[in-house]
Structures are given as structure tokens and as C-alpha cells.
Structure 1
Amino acid sequence: MFIDHVHQMFAGAGVPVWVDWFGRPAAPIFFFMAVEGFIHTRNQKRYMFQLLVGFWIMNLGSPIVKHFFEVGNLALSNNIFTDLYIAVLAMYGIQEISVGRRTHHSKQILLGGLAIIAPILLSLLALGLIANPKTMMFAANLAMVITTIMLAENGLLLYIGVFFYLFRNNRLLQCLTVLVFAFLDAGINSGFAFTGLFTSNTQWMMIFAIIPILLYNGQKGRSMKYFFYLFYPIHIWLLFILASLMGVGE
């Protein structure tokens, strides 16, 4: 992830395209670990709220950094918390539907369904508001507060996390999920042109996420509870500021 963002911020300074290759497996690994975090946390609602807070912090801090610094025409729109929150919310919805069906609690089933479809409905609402010049600014402000798929870094790819959750007891099916999403995403980005699938497009390289997923033994490592929440926004802002001070993109 860090190397991927180094390429993003310093591509204008001559950082070669191949540096970006190392960042392709990052997203599937994040979603895989989000599943592990969700199923092992003692408080699932707090876990989801922490991701939501991360989303808000990025939306608050990035415009401030962008106001004082600039790197050519590069937009500072990174916010993986959007993707992770929507994916984990869908996991929560699936869990609630499953429990509700076992216990015959219709309200729990309804709550689970709402958790799954709410981001989709909000995305459609945001699209409708953006299409109207009179409500475009309102939609932009609304997107700073609510999570929508249309503004997620990985778009519909974020639902790879949902399949990781559904296949949480079958590591081979999780790896197959990586393969399917990798080539589907690469195909969409290259217009399903074979020549562009493996040359101009590098999304297929996320298949290398299979290696750490297969090597994962399910055991908890050294506790670094809030490291990611701090490292993610700080390293992005610092790299952007450094690139600006170096005059990248001018």
C-alpha cells in the first residue's frame, strides 16, 4: 500500500509504472483482514463505527491538506475506509439475516437487509442529486458524511470482502474469489481487450494476494490495534505534502 501511494504521489517526478505493481495485492488483503477483524472483534458495532470515523477523518483532513498543497492535477481522494465500512456493514447485514432466520425475528432480518442495501440506495440518491445542478453541491457535502459506493476507491470491487466473509471457512474458495475479482476488475478497466488486460492494466496483479492469504494461519499476531487507523491517513497526507514541496507535477 505504501509503495502504491509513493507511485501515486511521485509518478510526476519519474517514479516508474512498475512500482505500482507492488500495490495491486493490497486491497484484497485489506478486505480479507477486515473479515478477520469483524468475526473476531468483541464489539462488532464499535468496529464498524471506528471505520466510519476513519472515513470522516479522511474526508475532513484531505481537503485541508489539498487547500494548502497541490501536486499538479492530482486529486487527494484516497479513502479506503469507505470501502471497508460498506463491506463490513454488508457482512453485518448477512449475519443479522442469518441469525434472524434461525430465531424467527423478522425485525432482525429487516435490519440485516437494510444494512446491505442502504449504501446502494444512498449511492443512487447521490447520483440523482449530482445530476441536478441545483443539488450538486448538496450531494458533494452529503458524500462527506455518508458512505456511497460511487465514491469508494475500489467501486464494486469492495464486495470482494462480502465473498471473503461468505467463504470464511474455506480458504480455497476465498482464493478463487481473488482470481475472479482480479480478472473481472482488470477486464472492466481494459474494456475486456486481451492486449490491454495484461499490459496497460495491472489490476490482475491482485492475484498475488493469494500468497499471504494461503500462508495465514488464523492466529493473532502482535497487537497493533490502532496503527492502521493512524498510519493510513498520515502517510497519505505526508507523501502528498512532500510531493508538493518537491514541486512534483509543476
Structure 2
Amino acid sequence: MDINFDFRNDSKCGDPDTDSPKLYQTHKFLWSKMLPCGKAFDLEVVGSSYGRLLLKSDFGNLSSDRMCPHFDGKYNGKFDRWLPDSEREELKYKVRTIGGHIVFPAHKKNGFTINQARGVNRLICDRFDLTLECIRRFYQEEQSPLYDTLIRYKKFFDLFVDFNGYIDFFMLQDFIDEKQQINFSLPFDDFNRLALPLTIEEYKQYKACTIDLVNNRNKRLDVFLKIPVCRSVNIN
């Protein structure tokens, strides 16, 4: 696995989460392991009838999701000129390395999937730090902008037992501090403010924080891959 690989280069449609074989094979390799609940996460890459790749497991199908948005080309082009071209492209590239991806349940359950819900909710705007805060609160049985969506996927989150289990399984330790609070990429005020950067300075702060988090997770994943382990599930 190359932690510097840009999965956009392996996508015909331009969205690696839809059709990048390399991305899905990497997810399969990384997450095919024992779950905190004691069960095996045995993943298989499969195609769907609507042209999307999926990860099949005994606990339902999963899809890849880019964790951190870059905002470029969105919101009526509001952010398109807030950063120099080189910095904007750096952010767009970095979030498409493996450290910038995670998996969520792919099947709908009486509403939006987690991928969809965090994208359309204006208090989240697809940001992973805010999504992770919602997941942290979910494990504490506390309300959040995504609570109604997350509760529909309780069986998925039960696989990780608790928030610590979720963090450790997906190697997200850099996204929290020593007190297990979220490292937010922008000022956080209990979901009262708009999730988007409000100024150019905030966008630069978001970019720097996001790149740092993804770089650190990439390093963590790289170390994990270099440690000889005996996996108890089939990853062939």
C-alpha cells in the first residue's frame, strides 16, 4: 500500500469512492481483522447492479467515504479563489490518499445513509471532525445533528463496542486528544455555527489542520502495515 497514492488516478468517473478498485482493495486489507466485539470483519470487494463497488461483510455492505471535504467547486463556488491554486490542489490531493478515507454502511435504513446525511446537514457539511463528534456523542447516548441517522445503524456501531473501540479499529487516534475529545479543524460551539469556514483565514486553518490529520493517519496506517501480524480472517 502506498500512503501517497491519489485514488482519483484509479477512478474512471472521478470519484474513487464509487469505482476505484485500488481503494476498495486497500479498505479490504486494512479492515479485515478482528472487531472489538470479538467477531471477524471478513470483507470482500463486490460490484453492485448500479455500477458502484462495495465491501461485502456478514454485517451488511459498506461503502468508502472521503472523510474530509475540500469545499472546492461547491457552495456556488464560494471557496474556489480563497486559496492559491497550489494550496487548493494540495488539499484536494491529500484527502484522496488512504488516510483520508473510511467506510460506512452502504444500505439505506428508512432515510439517508451516514454518508448522505453528513453531506446534506448544514451543521456538518461533510466534515469528519463534526461527524466524529456526533459518533462520540452517540456512544454516550447524547443527541447531535446526526443522532437520528446513527441510531438507525446501531448494529454497525455495536461492532466496535464503544468510542475507544471505534477510534482504535479505524486508527483515528490523531483525530482526538488525550482526553478523548475531538481535535476540531475549526472553532466549535456545540453545533451552533455554520460548519463551513467563515473567512479566508479559517479556510487556511481548516486546510492546514486537515492535511496534518491526514498525514498523521497515513503514517499510522503505514506503521500498522509494516508490523507482522497474524490475521484471523481471509483477505485474499
Normalised by the size of structure 2, how large is the TM-score?
0.31
Normalised by the size of structure 1, how large is the TM-score?
0.30
Comparing both chains, which one has the higher relative contact order based on Cα–Cα distances under 8 Å and sequence gaps of 6 or more?
A: 1
The structure with the largest strand share of the pair is 2
Which structure is larger by alpha-carbon Rg, 1 or 2?
1
